[in-house]
Amino acid sequence: MAWREIEDLTGESFSRRTAQSQRISVICPSTEERIMFHPQLYECFAAQTYHDKELVVIDTGSKPSPFFRRITLEDPRVIYRHFPVTATEWPVGLKRNLAILLATGC
C-alpha cells in the first residue's frame, strides 16, 4: 500500500493513503429544479473507470427524486438523502458539508 507524508496546518505530519488505494466520493448537492439532470449525473458517475467509488447526493425540495429513489435500490454505491426544505433555506455549502459527512471516501 502506498503512503505519503502530508503536513497539516499545525505543522504536524500524518500519513495518508494515496488516491489509488482509497474510495473516491463524488458529492453533489441538488434541488428538485434539477431533477431532469439526475439521470445524466448518474450516467457520468457510472461511466468513470475508477473501481472503488460512491456518489453522495443531497437533495432539497418538496418531493424526493424518483430517479434516485429507484437507483439507490439498484446500486449500493449511491447514497441519496432528500430533505423537504426549499433551496433558499439550505445554501449549497450546507448541502456540500452534509454530503462530506456522509461520504466514506476521500
Give per-residue pLDDT as tens, 20-62.
569 999 999 999 999 999 999 999 999 999 999 999 999 999 9
Sign of CA dihedral 36, 65, 70, 47: positive
2, 28, 60 from 45: Cα distances, Å: 25, 11, 20
pTM of the model: 0.79
Per-residue model confidence (pLDDT) at position 20? 53
Instruction: Give the integer Cα–Cα distance in Å for 83 and 103.
Output: 17
Mean pLDDT for the chain overall: 87
Contact criterion met (CB below 8 Å) for 57 and 28: yes
